Every structure is written in structure tokens, then in C-alpha cells.
A and B are shown apart, each in its own frame.
Chain A
């Protein structure tokens, strides 16, 4: 009996350990850009654009990625089927800043680190919410910067940059983010 109990206990422990390892692996694999894709999508909910930001009332709400696309398919998955008011959500990927037409949210990839100043300048006075994961990018004029803290994604928001772009960021978003008061590029 004792032998059987030990065998049964060991089997149970093994099974439970396997399940928890798989969960951790899955989470860890999906976590960063999957979460950041959702975050980007969620920005559309907590930021208010002026109607002038759209060329037409039913013009698509464009979420652009400038530079390399770190999201893969996650961003598209996150946007699938979603709609903001009358505006269908569209993900567009831009190689250069010149390609950028109407764009409500622009994710600036790390690869654009060198050209960030230009990009910010190019986007000046356009109602485009700029998002980047570049270090200290918020101080350089990016409106929302992803940071990682204790293995968790945190936001740094340059409120003045957003206000300059004519965007109103929800106070709820502001509360859960770190406010950067230095206005970059301007």
C-alpha cells in the first residue's frame, strides 16, 4: 500500500508540475508583443481624437507601425473585428515617415531610434498618437512610451506632446501611467 500511495502521489505531482510549466511557457511566449498589441488597441479607447483627425466620418481608424514590425500577427489579431464608432480599425505598416498618411496611432519601432527626432517633427501638428518602446522616447517627444518594470509593461506618457497634437488622453490612462512632463522636440 505504501508503495502504491507513493506512486500515486508522485504521478499527481508530476502532472501538476507539467501543467504549470506549460502555462508559464505559453504566457511568457505571448506576453510582450501580444500584450503590447492589445495595449495599442486599447489606446484607441482611452484617447480622444478630434473629428478633424479623420478625413471622413467613416474613414478608417489607422493604427500604423513605422519601421520593423515587432508584433507579427498579434496586432492584426487584436484589431480583428474591432471598430471605433464609425471607423473601422486598420493596421498599416510604414517603412518611412513619408509613407504615413492618415494615421491615428503610430507605433515607432526601435529600429527608428535614429530618426525619431525627424519622425516627431514630421508628425508635428498631426493628430497622431505616437507610441514607442524606445528608452526615454517620451522625453524625446513620443507621446506614450512602453517600459518594462518588474517584468510588467508600464506606460510613460508625455501629456504635453499629446495636448500639442490635439489629443486628449483619458485621466484613467494617465492614472495608470507615468507622466513625463518634459516636452520633447519642442
Chain B
């Protein structure tokens, strides 16, 4: 485990210890040896000197009295020192007198004595000692001592040094190892820790204390640093994780456009990645001061059950954390057990000990809160709180955008709808204007027919029954035409058509329609070689209904036309009317129009009531069933369509039966008649109308002056006034070229304000309905004018 970086420390330390110890040892032993050597040399010299002096002293008599024997005996005393290799005694003349050992070869001592003193040779110590008695020099003693003793001593020292080194080196090694261990262990441990940190980025490791003060200080500091790094690292890691989570959630919410799905994905992400044990979104209703559960976290379902929380359930908003949060504050309750409010207590009871409530704020308004909870107490770090705060801002923003998107989508849809409606209205308006023009002309055109027919029926008692029947039919047809023309204008009228309800015998209406439409279901198909078989099934004793007969007839006509069109290859057309009393007691009358034609698919069936929707191409207007539907609506009736492709269609109209309680709107009044003869000025641009009006009114006994055009009328009135023959009343058409009815009325009133003016108009019904009677006009009558209405108006204005 020891890495190469740590080895040099050990080696260096070992080397240092060995070098220092070795140096000390070397210096010590060298000094010791040198000292010993020098001392030994000195002592050797001294010893030799002492010995020599003693011998020399003892040799004096032998020399003085020339006793060689004695001298030899004295020299023999050198035997005491085994290192004395040779000795010689010279007399005062320098001749050899005696020698030691006896029989010494001449080569072993100098022939002549040297100067007194001692000197070391290579292998010996040589000394010359003067032999004196008193001050008398008697001779010289030569001594040659080999250095055996010194060598022996040196050998001994060598051995000692060797032993010392031999013992001290392993000892030094052991001690240094021990010291090294003490010294290096903390360093190596620290190095190991550092390596672990740098290589593995593992900041959780800690250096171990060793008990050495400085190292422990160092280790503690190092560990403290590691702890701080670890904390920072963990914080950074958590921050990064949360950042990534925030990004993930932001991206996920960006892909969603509705609040619940945004909330759901946020909760899913939080539960999986924050994580948390329970989470939910509550929506805030500022007006009601309440919070409603919007979305619950999927993983925290168990807690939601324990908390008795469910989607769309209200959470009371009292003086708890929720209300603080609703005020725009992030609320963190580290220990909900200590919060004595209902909502935290609910959490605590469910086993959730800590919670964070983050407000969702858009434009300074808290529209909801995010509730996050965990089982443990104090489980949310400040970083997580901050994260949840930021997250709630993101979620609020995303929610806001989703709402904006929704609003935008709604506005766009509304706009499209409006555009569609406007287009339809525009089409209807164009159609209505066209219809209005046509209606005006038709009303003008049929006015003489209406007047003459009414006049004939009234005044010709001698008419045959047949002629009277024809005339009656003509009169009804004219009335139908007039109503149809009037109803055409209803298309572009914005308000509901005024409907005058009367008792209608449905059976009679059905028979009339079948008769009226015969050419369509019988004659035309037969021309193409196709057979349409029509069957009417009318129950006896059908009650009347309240309604507008002409509308019902039109509706039935349209239904029969559709049925014939649905059977291009012929088939059976059944019109059935029957009565049914419902379980709730409602008495209803049904009219079924069934065919065995091609039928409708589901899409067509669903759209068939839309105006302008047609399957007939250029032949259809797309208004037939729409008109039927309008009639149904106006009659509080019901429409039921059953159809299957290839089998046929059945349309059922269901009307409430007439009961005596139903208000009868129509009433027959006795028409008042003016008995005196009146001078009447007729102003119109239509000669036929003028003629017919003139004829019929003259027959009533009135004096009629007819003028063609507005200006002519005004002129005629002025001329008559000048003559003093004032008109009792003026009847003028509204729509005339150059000078129209309004101007005529205005001019008449200027000349004679008391003279009543009756305005006739092809648009009359609309003006009446619009309550738009022009000024100076006393009475407005619609074309075709009915004689009875005209008489009533005259009677009303000129009583």
C-alpha cells in the first residue's frame, strides 16, 4: 500500500538517522582510537623510557667497572617486557659493551649509539638512553621495542569498533524504525488519506489521530478541512441535482398546457427525485377564502387516504401555515407536531412530521399552494426549501402560461365562432334583403288579388258554391303567400319571430300538405318512372295543438320533400299522426314522416339541422330542416330523427296537446265600419294596386282620388285644399320613386295637420314589428291590404 511517494520519506529518514548516527559513531571511534593510539604511543615511549632508564641506571656500575657480565645480567631484565626486541649497551667510547638478548646479530642494533631520545620507526620504537652516574656520562643504552603491543591494542580497538558498529547499527536500525513508525505513521496516514481524497474524490475519509500533539493538530485541521469540503461537495451535488430536477420539471411543464397535468408531472418528478413522501397542489379561491385539492401525488396516495384528502375536496383556510402561505410566504414546519392547527395536525396524524408549503404566485395573487411533506422531522434542508420556492415560481409561471394559453384558445375559438356567425348572418342578411325586395314586389303584386277576392266574397251573394270555394282557396293561398313572404324576412331578423299561436288541427294540416305536395311525391317521380307510395295514417280523435298552422304546414312540406328526395328509386312514404299520453301525464301529439330511402350516416344525422347544410348539392338550400327546427323551437315541440344508412329515415315531431288552460292568443273581433262617405286620397306608383283599392273602397261608398306617385299626391292634396275640398284621409304607399310615402305624409301634415295619413307598405309587417312607424303617419298597414283591416283603420282614425 505504500506508494512510491511515501518510500523516499522513509528512506531519507533512515538515511538521515544512519548518516548522523554513523557520523557520530565514526567521529567518536576515530577520536577515541586516535586518542588511544597517541596515548598509547606516548605511554609506550614513557614505559620504554622508564624501563630503559632503570636498566641504564643499573648498568652504570657495570660500565664504570667494565663488567660486561654484570651489564648482560642487567640487560637481561628486559626479558620482563616481551616486546623488547633488542637492546645494547655502549660504553663511553661508543663501543658495544653488552647486548640483549645474548648473541644478538650485529644487524639488529646500530654499530654506534645515536643521540639520546626515542623515535618510532615503521615497525619499532627505538630509543637511546644515556647511561650516567651523577653527571658522568658512562655510556648509552639502545632499546628496540617492536610495536606488537600497539598492534595488539589497535587490533583490540578494531575489534571494539567492529563490535560497537555491529551492535549499534542494528540497534540504530531498530530504534530508527521505531522512531520512524512514530514519526511517519501520521504522515503516511495523512498521505494515504490525501491520496484517497484526490484519487477517488472521496471526501468522507478521515485521517486518524495518532496521539502526537502537532500531528493531531494537523490531522484535526485536515479533517476539518475535509469535512468542510465534503459539506461543500454535498451541497454542490444537491444543488446540481435540484437544478437538474428544476430543469427537468420546467421542461416537462413546458410541454403541458393544462393545470392538472402540469401539477401531476411536477408531483411525479418531486416524489421520484426530491424525494418526498407526500405532495399535493391546492388551488386557492380568494373570494371564498378556501383551498381546493387540485392534484395529489401518485406515490403519496396512501398518505392522501390517511389525510382524507381527495381531488376537489376543500381544505379549510384558518390561521395556520396555509393562510400564511396564501399570503405569499413560503412556510416550512420542521416539526408539525408542534403546530397546533388543523392542517398540520392532520399531517402529523397521518405520520408526516415535516412539511413545506410553497405559494404559487401570479401577478401578486396566490392562486394555489404546493404542499410537500416527509415522514421525518426537520427533513427539509434550507436548500430544498429554496428549491421548492423557486420551483413554485416556475410552476406558477407555467400555470399562468397554461391559463393564458387556454384563454387564448378560448378567445380564438370564440372568434372563429363569431366569424362563422357573422358570415352566416351576413348570408342571411343578404338573403333577407333579397327576400325583402321580392316580398315587397310580391306583396304589391298580390294586393289586387287579395282586395278583389275579398271584395268578391263579400259583395257577390250570387256566386256559385264552387266559385265561392275557389275564391276562398285563392284567399287562403294569398294569405299563405303573404305570410310566407313575411316569414322569409325572419331569416335575417335578429330577434325571435313573433308568433301568434292558435288552435291547429294537425290532421287537417297533414291532409292539406299531402294534397299540396302531391305533384312532388306523385307526379314528378312518375315522370322519371319512379313510384313513391304515400300512406297517411291519422288517428281519430287527435287533439288540437297550439301553434301557427302555416308554419306547421311548411315544416311538414319540407319533411315530405326531404323524404321524396331520399328515395330516388322510389319507396314507401308514410305520414302518421297519433296521440300518446306520457307516464308523467303529458298529453302529446306526434307526427311521423318516414321513408324507406337511403338514410343518413351518423355525421350527416348530427349536422342535418344546421342551416345551409345540405346533401342535395345545388338542388338544396340547406334551409329545410333548419326551418323545421326553428318551428319546433317556437312551438316548444320536440324533434326526433332516427335514421340508418340504406334503410330509411323517420322524423318525429312531438307537440304538446292543446288543453283548455292554454291561452288563446287569437281572437275574433267585430270590425268597426265607417258609415259615412269619405273623401280619400290614394297615392301609389302601382296602377294595379291603385285600381283595385279604388274599386273596393268605392264599393264601400267612399269618394276616391287616385294619384300616381308621391309628388302628384301632394299636388292633388294642395289643389283640393285650395278648392276648399279637403280630403278626409290620405292613404299612401311607402316605397315610391322620387317622393316616398314618408315625404308625402310630411307634406300632408304640413298642409293639414288634422288629416290622418295611412301608410301602406310591402315592408309593413317589419315596420310594425320594429315599432318604427315614421313621423306624421297615423296608421301603418302592410300589403297586401286586407279590406277589413283598411275599414278598421278608417273607422279608428275617423270615428
Contact = CB atoms under 8 A, between A and B. Distances in A.
Interface stretch (A49-57, A66-74, A116-124, A168-176): A168-176
Interface in B59-105: 60-62, 64-67, 70
B134 A45 contact: yes
Interface string A148-173: 00001111000000000000001011
B66 A153 contact: yes
A181 interface: no
A58 interface: no
Contact of B61 (A35, A82, A152, A172): A172
B70 A42 contact: no
A39 B61 contact: no
Nearest to B67: A176
A153 B69 CA distance: 12
A3 to B, nearest CB: 34
A46 interface: yes
A131 to B, nearest CB: 12
B65 A42 contact: yes
27 contacts: A35-B66, A39-B64, A39-B65, A39-B66, A42-B64, A42-B65, A42-B133, A42-B136, A46-B64, A46-B133, A84-B134, A152-B66, A153-B66, A154-B67, A155-B65, A170-B61, A172-B57, A172-B58, A172-B60, A172-B62, A173-B61, A173-B64, A173-B65, A175-B61, A175-B70, A176-B65, A177-B65
Interface string B330-342: 0000000000000
Given A35-B66, A84-B134, A177-B65, 18 more contacts: A38-B64, A39-B64, A39-B65, A42-B65, A42-B133, A45-B64, A45-B134, A46-B133, A153-B66, A154-B67, A155-B65, A172-B58, A172-B61, A172-B62, A173-B61, A173-B64, A173-B65, A176-B65
Contacts of B58: 172
Interface string A131-153: 00000000000000000000011
List 4 tightest A-B contacts by C-beta distance, closest first.
Answer: A172-B61, A176-B70, A176-B67, A42-B64
Q: Which of A82, A154, A175 has the most CB of B within 10 A?
A: A175
Interface string B178-207: 000000000000000000000000000000
Nearest to B64: A42
A35 B64 CA distance: 10
B134 to A, nearest CB: 5
Chain A: interface residue count, which band?
10 to 19
Contacts of A170: 61
Contacts of A176: 61-62, 65, 67, 70
B283 to A, nearest CB: 143
A45 B62 contact: no
A154 B70 CA distance: 11
Contacts of A173: 61, 64-65
Contacts of B136: 42, 45, 82
Q: Which of B61, B62, B134, B136 has the most CB of A within 10 A?
A: B61
Nearest to A173: B61
Nearest to B132: A45
Nearest to B69: A176
Contacts of B61: 46, 170, 172-173, 175-176
A138 to B, nearest CB: 15
Interface residues of B, number: 13
A82 B70 CA distance: 26
Contacts of A152: 66
A38 B62 CA distance: 13
Contacts of B70: 175-176
A38 B58 CA distance: 19
A42 B132 CA distance: 12
A176 B68 CA distance: 9
Nearest to B73: A175
Contacts of B134: 45, 84
Interface string B754-774: 000000000000000000000
Contacts of A175: 61, 70
Contacts of A39: 64-66
B228 to A, nearest CB: 100
B92 to A, nearest CB: 10
A46 B57 CA distance: 12
Contacts of A84: 134
A157 to B, nearest CB: 11
A170 B60 CA distance: 11
A152 B67 CA distance: 9
A51 to B, nearest CB: 17
Contacts of A172: 57-58, 60-62
B133 A45 contact: yes
A39 B136 CA distance: 13
Contacts of A154: 67
Contacts of B133: 42, 45-46
A154 B67 CA distance: 8
Contacts of A82: 136
Contacts of A153: 65-66
B170 to A, nearest CB: 60
Contacts of A155: 65
Nearest to A172: B61
Contacts of B65: 39, 42, 153, 155, 173, 176-177
A62 B190 CA distance: 103
B55 to A, nearest CB: 12
A118 B299 CA distance: 160
Nearest to A174: B61
Q: Which of B57, B66, B134 has the most CB of A within 10 A?
A: B66
Nearest to A154: B67
B68 to A, nearest CB: 8
A177 B67 CA distance: 9
A153 B70 CA distance: 13
Nearest to A170: B61
Interface string A21-42: 0000000000000010011001
Nearest to B65: A176
Contacts of A42: 64-65, 133, 136
A45 B138 CA distance: 11
Contacts of A38: 64
Contacts of A35: 66
B64 to A, nearest CB: 4
A82 B61 CA distance: 18
Nearest to A82: B136
A176 B66 CA distance: 9
Nearest to A35: B66
Nearest to B135: A83
A133 to B, nearest CB: 14
Nearest to A177: B65
A82 B134 CA distance: 12
Interface in A73-123: 82, 84
A152 B133 CA distance: 22
Nearest to A39: B65
A159 to B, nearest CB: 15
A45 B57 CA distance: 13
Nearest to B68: A152
A49 to B, nearest CB: 13
A153 B134 CA distance: 23
Nearest to A85: B134
Contacts of B62: 172, 176
Interface string B31-52: 0000000000000000000000
A172 B67 CA distance: 11
Nearest to A155: B65
B793 to A, nearest CB: 206
A51 B282 CA distance: 147
Nearest to B134: A45
A173 B67 CA distance: 10
A42 B136 CA distance: 9
A177 B136 CA distance: 20
Nearest to B59: A172
A80 B61 CA distance: 21
B618 to A, nearest CB: 178
Q: Which of A42, A82, A84, A170 has the most CB of B within 10 A?
A: A42
Q: Which of A84, A170, A172 has the most CB of B within 10 A?
A: A172
